[in-house]
Amino acid sequence: MQVKDETEHIRPKRDREATRRRILAAARDLFGEHGYDGVTVRMIAARAEANMALVNRYFGSKAALFGEVLAGESTLREVVAGDPDGLPRRLAEHFVRQTDQRCGTPISRMLDRSAGHPEVKEILLRHLEDVFVGPLVAQLDGPDARARALLAGTVLMGVGSVRRVLGLDDLRAADPAELTDRLTTMFTAALAAPSDR
């Protein structure tokens, strides 16, 4: 029987899930600070205190990592889920929450700084289809459900464009309840089937 030398160094077992979480958090922060083009896998690994090979092994590529960060941070799926009758109000409340964020959320900063990159555009299109457009279409009755879902998405995603170009101070100064009511009316109209108008 072999006795283990007590002075022998025992390496701690790697905690794969903890490492993945550190990498995702580092990537979210760095993409938010520098945008997709301004971040390298080496930077992400350094921030996460992980081996660069682990980033590639766990995520495959920088683009795939960006997609996982986006999927993990999105609240749109929860906004769309639920009673279809309450959907316009939930979308309006989500919009108002987004405008109320003084510095934006990590995900909004990440998108603001990265949305123009071709790889990011493809990831964003897939993400929006999976978490917003597809689930929304499934809830809508009547013709042109996809067009109506895309119209609501256009209104919702406009908060990012307004933030980048004009700023949100005027919207933040508005009464949140009144803003929510107005947006509920807009989303109701956008989602309504032609026969409901």
- Residue 112's CB is within 10 A of a number of other CB atoms, namely 16
The residue ranges of the chain whose pLDDT is under 50 are 1-12
Q: How far apart are the first and last CA of the chain?
A: 83
At 3 the pLDDT is 46
Q: Was domain 74-196 assigned CATH 1.10.357?
A: yes
What token pair was written down for 20? 């993945």
At 191 the pLDDT is 94
Residue 16: CB partners within 8 Å, gap ≥ 6? 58
Nearest CA among 193, 159, 13, 6 for reference residue 76: 159
At 47 the pLDDT is 96
Domain residue ranges in the chain:
16-66, 74-196
Q: Is the pTM of this model over 0.85?
A: no
16-66, CATH topology level: Arc Repressor Mutant, subunit A (1.10.10)
At 154 the pLDDT is 86
| 49: Cα separation from own chain's centroid | 24
The H helix count followed by the E strand count for the chain is 12, 0
